[in-house]
Structure 1
Amino acid sequence: MTNRPEGDARAARNERREAARQRAQRARTQQKRRQRGVRLGLQIGLGVVLVAAATIVTLVLVDSVQPAGPGPANTSQGGITIGQDLKAVSTTGSPSPSATDGSGAVRITMYVDYLCPTCGQFEKANGDYIESLVDSGAATVDIHPIATLSNRSQGTKYSLRAANAAACVADRSPNQFFAVHQALFAEQPEQNTAGLTDAQLTKVVTGVDGLQQRSAILKCIQDQTYSKWVDERTSAVTGGEIPGSTLEEFPGVPLVLVNGQRYELTSPITNDDFRTFVVTAAGATEPTPTPTPSATPTATPTPSASSTPSATPSS
């Protein structure tokens, strides 16, 4: 029996060790490659998720800050102006806080919420008086429907829906706006109730005589076409942007101004007090002691100073 030389045995062992070492190295390399692949896959997957999430957030943010779009026709900065014969008049820009439209008429400006009980009380006491002034041409009235009480109707957002309905009328049947404005207060629901349903609201609006484009108004109410616009105007007004006024802070609804001067509500709200305020505000804009331009029509015109708005016959 012959023995291998000792050198050959050592060389064989070295070859086996080297082969084992190379196999281990290849295994480690393959493991590292697999680990890098897993990490890369996770990174790519996470990146896709993050990009998708960022896209969704961006879309939500863009949607949330999209402008409400153009408001209803016949409005200027949130208000519609009603003039002689209770017809809508063209407006350009915001009303001046000082006085009139150049016709000598007193300018009344009102910010109202159709769910606001105090607004309803003011309308009940002074609606007919304002109507007589405007109908005669002695005054114009800028009406701004806003929705400050949308959270006071058990989640139905009645304030917003009612203001949207008013905006629909301003857009499609402006000469009936004042009558619709009165009708909304005549059927005003109590605060903290669900308010009127859309069907009931539509019935109130379309029940006004002479309403034009009824089907378009119906669709406008159902689609809440101007709800974003109402929200935008409400935010602007409550934030201190109050056309027709020099006020820097919104005092709440109703806000009533006569020739830019704020009327301080009395308790109770009375027509006598508001008449006095109108006469005073109208007189403040007159350069001479002649009868104020806000004279309302009477059955027999008189030459005396009683031709001021306070001489309007009560209805």
Structure 2
Amino acid sequence: MTIGGPSDSSPSKNRRRDAARVKAKQLRVSQKKKDRRNKVFLQGGIGIAAIAIVVLVSVIIVNSIKPAGPGPKNMASDGALIGEGMITVLTPALQPDANPRPSEPDPTGAVANIRIYVDYLCPLCGDFEDANTEQIAQWVDSGAATVEIHPVAILTSKSAGTKYSLRAANAAACVANYSPDDFFDFSSALFVDQPEETSPGRSNNEIKAVVKDAGVSTALSSINSCIDDGTYESWVKAATDRALDGPIPNSSMKSIIGTPTILVNGKPYTGSLDDPKEFASFVQQALGETYSTSTPTPTPTPGG
């Protein structure tokens, strides 16, 4: 008889099968527990990742959409008004959602009111600035004219993603707020070696260098922080929308349609941007027309 034949081996096989089933069951139970743990960890990880994404998006939104704050001081009309002696007229800050207060033109008509809407990336604005800034400064300094400069940001999307127009206009507002009598010189300096449209424009550090090079010495630290923080960017956007939506105060213009938009005593200038003689002639003409309408016609004395 062969040892370990079929009849003798059956109980052993059964025990082995039972042991295998028990082992398999234990493995299945263990695997299920492991799967549950992994699922919990996975869900937890997804939850943490989702929270992190929400937090990141919230931070981006908060940083990119700043609540509207007050505008800069000395630009209550949405522009800086410079008068005799190159002194900027002081005005309180425009509060959020408040309407700008238009500057009052000279009631006698004897002083030319020049108003310019500029985008610091606009090449045509640069052409006008190069040709006319010197004579405008002479007229204003002598009291023959005032100039009101309105920075707008129409070309914000035309600087390779850096929003140069918006940042430059914000910088102008910073100077107007902290060192108003330097506004004209700084605004003019932004057109020196003007960046080309579609280029990245100047960095904030380069804009701050222009501030210093323009001779600004008052409150430099505050101006630099204002530039870096984009303090008045919301105001610039609102002022730009107001100029594009209109109406334009003290003028028959419904709105500006581009930059530069130049008005003299409310009359739009449509002549050559790089011909200072033509612009000077227009100023004289507008001044004469305003003076003639603002001066009462003498009443003839009845004959004796």
Q: TM-score, normalised by structure 1?
A: 0.67
**Corresponding residue for 1:9?**
none
Cα distance, 1:218–1:246 mapped onto 2, change above 3 Å: same
1:163-312 to structure 2, matched below 5 A, reads 163-266=169-272, 269-287=274-292
CA distances 1:56-103 after superposition (whole Å, capped 9, x unpaired): 99xx8xx9695x22110111231110011111024592035xx42668
1:86 & 1:253 partners in 2: Cα distance?
Answer: 24
**Corresponding residue for 2:133?**
127
Shift of 1:289: 12
2:205 & 2:65 partners in 1: Cα distance?
Answer: 28
| Letter of the 1:188 counterpart | Q
Question: Percent same amino acid at aligned positions?
Answer: 43
| Letter of the 1:84 counterpart | E
Q: Secondary structure at the match of 2:190?
A: helix
**Corresponding residue for 2:114?**
108
**Corresponding residue for 2:84?**
84
Query: RMSD in angstroms over aligned alpha carbons?
Result: 2.6
**Corresponding residue for 1:161?**
167
Q: TM-score, normalised by structure 2?
A: 0.69
CA distances 1:98-148 after superposition (whole Å, capped 9, x unpaired): x42668321000100000000000001111110110011110011100100
What stretches of structure 1 move > 6 A for 4+ residues in a row? none
Are the equivalent residues in 2 in contact too, given 1:113–1:253 (CA < 8 A)?
yes
**Corresponding residue for 1:51?**
none
1:1-80 to structure 2, matched below 5 A, reads 66=67, 68-80=68-80
Shift of 1:235: 1.0
Q: Give 5+ residue unaligned stretches, structure 2.
A: 1-56, 93-100, 296-304
Shift of 1:191: 0.6
Q: Secondary structure at the match of 1:140?
A: strand
| Letter of the 1:94 counterpart | P
2:250 & 2:193 partners in 1: Cα distance?
Answer: 28
Matched positions, count: 229
2:247 & 2:264 partners in 1: Cα distance?
Answer: 18
**Corresponding residue for 2:98?**
none
Q: Secondary structure at the match of 2:278?
A: helix
| Letter of the 1:285 counterpart | T
Q: Secondary structure at the match of 1:114?
A: coil
